[in-house]
Amino acid sequence: MTDTDSNKPATDRGGFTPLHLADLHPSLADPAMTSMNFLNEVAIRFPDAISFAAGRPTEEFFDIAEVHRHLDVFIDHLRHERGMTAQEAQRLVLQYGRTKGIIHDLVARQLAVDEDIHVPHESVVVTVGCQEAMFLVLRALRSAPEDIVLAVSPTYVGLAGAARLVDMPVWPVRSGDRGVDLDDLRTQVHRARRAGLRPRAFYVIPDVANPSGISLDVDVRRELLRVAAAEDLLILEDNAYGIFAGEQRLPSLKTLDSDRRVVRLGSFAKTVLPGARVGYVIADQDVPDHENDVSLLADHLSTIKSMLTVNTSPLAQAVVGGALLTHGHSLLVANRKESDLYQRNLSLMRAGLERHLAPFTDRVAWNTPAGGFFLTLTVPFEADDALLERSAEKYGVLWTPMAYFYSGDGGSHQIRLSFSQGTQETIDTGLERLASLLADCC
């Protein structure tokens, strides 16, 4: 250390040469991030606008007292059903713990009860929401630059985000009107392989998808599994909304999966509590190593998790565990009120769209999801950021441009409408405002 070191000329920022965005990871310069920020910023600038944009669960039944109760229920369960001492139970919930989680058995039980999915407890990794689950799987699968992931387009932005963080391209597969165009899936797999790329997995939301609201019918589900078998593809099934898919619930891909080809990604954000940030991944695939010892993919996801977040807050897990225990391990039972509310809102949306958009039925169209949080509105003009801003400012109504969910072109004339947080009044008034926008544009 010489004296001159401390006398070096300082920049105007006090000596430290600023970091430049161009020198940070490319994910940070991705235009998709700009879009989402734009939407948030418009929502903040026009707080009185009625929002069909956010996809958050209803707050109607939030109750902090219930959180306290669920924590106590889980502790009681540890004491009286697992035979732990008070000290042992406290340690499990308050100390560092198992990387794969402490409610893995309850998660496996819930999947058995609600979805007839039967997996070993060891194949469950409890994660910091479904977002971490997606990251873990993509980080594991992206081992070389030629690795890509296929996804139905439009695609949930969380999948695209996780893929960006591991520099993994997302190849779009057409949705078509049945939720996934299986011919296009085969075409894309073959095209990618001819280009020297490795399609590592195919990502799909089979039930009332975000953003489209489309569900795959049973035939499509079975055909998808056959295509995946023929092409030897792993399927990543995201099932965040399956519990709210309506009366006619269909078997999930994991339920139909007879050769452990499906990795299930799950979330308790919509079914228990967003504020817990608890999700999971089921990865019961075998992974032989160079000595031919076999472990589960879940074990490797756990290793990655140990380097990423160490473990999912056991305190937050305990609250989710208490909720599962309270409702006999069934999220269908736990969410009766919520399901009714979302179905009521869906009916209100359909009725409202028919009423307020009657003058435009020759020029607009909307789909009719079986449930979930979202539906798609197709319009005869470009639904871009500029229109969104005008919609918020002049008409007081917010929505999400469907283009946000496409990696390239696509969705330019579509709008995602969310109805999970609306009331009879906001839905009606919001759609009336939307009709005014349409009158102006159509």
Give the footprint of a copy of itself on residues 263-302 (CB under 8 A).
Answer: 269, 273-278, 285-290, 294, 297, 300
Instruction: Pick the closer one to a copy of itself by CB: 90 or 368.
Output: 90
Q: Which of 58, 47, 53 is nearest to 345 (CA)?
A: 58
Which amino acid makes up residue 415? I
| Distance, CA of 16 to CA of 222 (rounded, Å) | 59
Closest approach, Cβ 387 to a copy of itself, in A, equals 24
Query: 291 vs 362, which CB is nearer to a copy of itself?
Result: 291
Query: Which DSSP string corresponds to 89-126?
Result: HHHHHHS---TT-S-HHHHHHHHHHHH-----GGGEEE
Q: How far is the CB of 30 from a copy of itself (least distance, A)?
A: 9
Tell which positions 345-364 bind a copy of itself, by CB under 8 A.
Answer: none
Q: Which is nearer to a copy of itself, 19 or 358 (CB)?
A: 19
Please name the residues in contact with 350: beta carbons below 8 A apart, sequence gap of 6 or more: 368
Residues 212, 374, 149, CA angle at the centre, nearest 5°? 40
Rule CB under 8 A: say whether 223 interacts with a copy of itself.
Answer: yes
Is residue 143 a contact residue for a copy of itself (CB under 8 A)?
A: yes
59/56 Cα distance (integer angstroms):
9
250 versus 269: smaller Cβ distance to a copy of itself: 269
Which segment (91-99, 108-116, 358-366, 424-432) binds a copy of itself by CB under 8 A? 91-99
Site for a copy of itself in 99-138 (CB under 8 A): 128-129, 131-132, 135
Residue 163 Cβ vs a copy of itself, minimum distance, rounded to whole Å: 9
In 10 A of CB 380, how many CB atoms? 13
Question: For 110-222, where are the E strands, in sequence order?
Answer: 124-127, 147-153, 170-174, 198-204
Q: Which of residues 171-200 bind a copy of itself (CB under 8 A)?
A: 182
By CB under 8 A, tell whether 9 contacts a copy of itself.
no
In angstroms, the CA 176 to CA 102 distance is 40
* CB 140 to a copy of itself: min, Å: 5
Determine if the peptide bond prior to 211 is cis (ω within 30°): yes
Binding-site size, a copy of itself (CB under 8 A): 100
Cβ neighbors of 22 (< 8 A, separation 6 or more) are 29
Judged by CB under 8 A, does residue 20 bind a copy of itself? yes
- Residue 434: other Cβ atoms inside 10 A: 27
Q: How far apart are CA 130 and CA 238, in angstroms?
A: 8
Q: Where are the alpha helices (DSSP H) in 258-335?
A: 297-308, 314-326, 331-334
Tell me which of 79, 97, 389, 410 binds a copy of itself, using CB under 8 A. Answer: 97
90 counts as binding a copy of itself under rule CB under 8 A: yes
Which tokens go with 101?
Answer: 């989680």
Q: Which stretch binds a copy of itself (CB under 8 A): 172-180, 219-227, 368-376, 386-394?
A: 219-227
The helix/strand/coil state of 280 is strand
Q: Is 162 in the site for a copy of itself (CB under 8 A)?
A: yes
Name the one range near a copy of itself by CB under 8 A: 64-72, 173-181, 363-371, 402-410. 64-72
Contact between 48 and a copy of itself (CB under 8 A)? no
Out of 100, 142, 254, 329, point to the residue binding a copy of itself (CB under 8 A).
142
Applying CB under 8 A, which part among 157-165, 243-251, 340-348, 412-420 lies near a copy of itself? 157-165
Choose which of 165, 192, 197, 365 interacts with a copy of itself (CB under 8 A): 165
- Is 78 a binder of a copy of itself (CB under 8 A)? no
